[in-house]
């Protein structure tokens, strides 16, 4: 007959290790999410010198706003430079009046 004469117990507090492991796993998840959200433009972008469309990796031509919006975090706000405004509206009476008023304000 075998008898148990005594027992030896050994305890180790692994609370800190468990907390560190959970924090590490949480950081890994956060980093993976951040990497998924990061979009960067790299390299040379083939752009049409006339219409300014950009050719993508598949050979399709895209409006610059569409291409950059899909490949970066940038968003576009449209406006018009003075040269284009003059070319487009230069002969319009309302435009010439507006320009005269703007010049008087300066």
Please give the structure tokens belonging to residue 96.
């010439």
Residue with tokens 């003059």: 86
Measured at the CA of 32, the angle between CA 26 and CA 34, to 5 degrees, comes to: 105
pLDDT the model gives residue 35: 78
pLDDT the model gives residue 105: 85
pLDDT the model gives residue 39: 65
Close Cβ partners of 90 (under 8 Å, ≥ 6 residues apart)? 96
pLDDT the model gives residue 12: 86
Backbone angles phi, psi at 54, to 5 degrees: -110, 135
**Mean pLDDT across the stretch 85-89?**
91
pLDDT the model gives residue 33: 82
Per-residue pLDDT tens digits for 12-70 = 888 999 999 999 999 999 998 887 766 666 778 899 999 999 998 899 999 998 988 88
Close Cβ partners of 64 (under 8 Å, ≥ 6 residues apart)? 47, 52, 53, 54
């Amino acid at each position: 007959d075998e008898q148990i004469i005594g027992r030896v117990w050994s305890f180790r507090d692994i609370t800190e290790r468990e907390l560190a492991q959970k924090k590490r796993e949480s950081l890994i998840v956060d980093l993976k999410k951040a990497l998924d959200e990061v979009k960067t433009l790299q390299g040379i972008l083939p752009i049409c010198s006339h219409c300014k469309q950009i050719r993508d990796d598949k050979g399709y031509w895209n409006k610059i706003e569409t291409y950059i919006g899909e490949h970066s975090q940038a968003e576009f706000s449209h406006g018009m430079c003075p040269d284009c405004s003059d070319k487009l509206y230069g002969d319009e009476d309302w435009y010439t009046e507006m320009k005269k008023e703007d010049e008087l304000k300066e």
